């Protein structure tokens, strides 16, 4: 029997948005979310500068908000950086850490991602820790080794109690923004592997939400979210349209999970 975990769908706007367009999107999502099944939690991770706008427009709604990164430093002379405590000032529920775009374009190491995870936790913001392999790594059969090492680097610096508070997102790099989602079998296989790795850290850690990300769209979301170890999604492009994002959220109801 599979334990029923509640579902979580989080939008990652990446570097998209402007004040006027954001207002329409945030209001549309907040309003549409009222009709979602009670077991689906929803969040949107916006560029730092729009956290105040998200707080103003989503406060009191069912939709949480968050950032797409936090600094590895608590405070200090780090020009351009934004601390987890600053994000927390705007009541952010989530902070994405270790997204593959940051690992690839900003040279973020597994150790740095681990420190960022600690910073978010210390500030009371739930870190969404992203892991994922490149196409080359998948084709050479290294997927589990790569995502396992990425997850282990984070788990190594956390207590069992802390680890139980994170969210993990599996995002195969080759599926991000390409329109080429992992198949449900490919995704479930990696999720089951990650679930076992989390369970090895402690009984409390086994049930952390495991999100899938990479070309999730309204037409493939339900099948992905039905898998035993897929607890929801981290949504890029499709989170920029209220209707598409809400359709994906609606597909995430836990009642649809298969036993595994
Ligand atoms: P897409 O949904 O646009 O493929 O992006 C996925 C992603 O990177 C979410 O963090």
Q: What is the pLDDT of residue 2?
A: 53
**Closest to 167 (Cα-Cα) out of 233, 108, 89:** 233
Residue 256 is predicted with a pLDDT of: 52
Q: Which CATH number fits domain 2-12+72-259: 3.30.379.10, 3.30.365.10, 1.10.760.10, 3.20.20.70?
A: 3.20.20.70
Q: What is the mean pLDDT of residues 218-229?
A: 97
Q: Is the Cβ atom of 211 under 6 angstroms away from ligand 1?
A: no
Q: Please tell me the distance from the alpha carbon of residue 83 to that of residue 81, in angstroms, as a whole number.
A: 7
Separation CA 11–CA 235 (nearest Å): 5
Please tell me the predicted confidence (pLDDT) of residue 6. 87
Full-model pTM: 0.96
Q: Is 99 labeled as catalytic in the residue annotation?
A: yes
Q: How far is CA 41 from CA 44, 108, 172, 209, in A?
A: 11, 29, 23, 11
Digit-coded pLDDT (tens) for 82-119 = 999 999 999 999 999 999 999 999 999 999 999 999 99
Return the ligand 1 atom nearest residue 175 CA. 4
Which atom of ligand 1 is nearest the CA belonging to 217? 2
Q: What is the pLDDT of residue 258?
A: 46
Q: What is the mean pLDDT of the chain?
A: 95
Q: Is 16 a catalytic residue?
A: no
Domain ranges for the chain, please list them. Answer: 2-12+72-259
Is the CB–ligand 1 distance for residue 172 below 6 Å?
no
Q: How would DSSP label each residue in 229-257? A: T--EEEESGGGGSHHHHHHHHHTT-GGGP
Decide if 211 contacts 170 (C-beta within 8 A). yes
Model confidence band, residue 181 (pLDDT cutoffs 50, 70, 90): confident
Residue range 39-44: mean pLDDT, rounded: 96
Please, what is the Cα angle at 165 between 120 and 150, to 5 degrees?
Answer: 70
């Amino acid at each position: 029997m599979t334990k029923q975990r509640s579902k979580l769908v989080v939008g990652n706007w990446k570097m998209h948005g402007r004040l006027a367009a954001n207002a329409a999107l945030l209001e549309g999502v907040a309003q549409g979310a009222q009709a979602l099944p009670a077991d689906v939690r929803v969040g949107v991770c916006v560029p730092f500068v729009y956290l105040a706008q998200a707080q103003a427009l989503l406060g009191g709604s069912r939709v949480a908000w968050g950032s797409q990164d936090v600094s590895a430093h608590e405070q200090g002379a780090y020009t351009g950086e934004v601390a987890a405590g600053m994000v927390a000032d705007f009541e952010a529920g989530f902070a994405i850490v270790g997204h593959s775009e940051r690992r690839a374009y900003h040279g973020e190491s597994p150790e740095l991602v681990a420190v960022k995870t600690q910073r978010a936790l210390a500030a009371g913001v739930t870190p969404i820790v992203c892991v994922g392999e490149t196409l080359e790594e998948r084709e050479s059969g290294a997927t589990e080794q790569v995502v396992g090492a990425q997850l282990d680097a984070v788990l190594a610096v956390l207590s069992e109690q802390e680890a139980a508070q994170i969210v993990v997102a599996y995002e195969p790099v080759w599926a991000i923004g390409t329109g080429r989602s992992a198949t449900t079998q490919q995704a479930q296989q990696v999720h089951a592997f990650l679930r076992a790795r989390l369970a090895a850290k402690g009984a409390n850690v086994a049930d952390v939400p495991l999100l899938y990300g990479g070309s999730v769209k309204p037409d493939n979301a339900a099948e992905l979210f039905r898998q035993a170890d897929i607890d929801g999604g981290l949504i890029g492009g499709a989170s920029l349209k209220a209707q598409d994002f809400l359709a994906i959220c609606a597909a995430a109801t836990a009642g649809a999970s298969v036993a595994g």
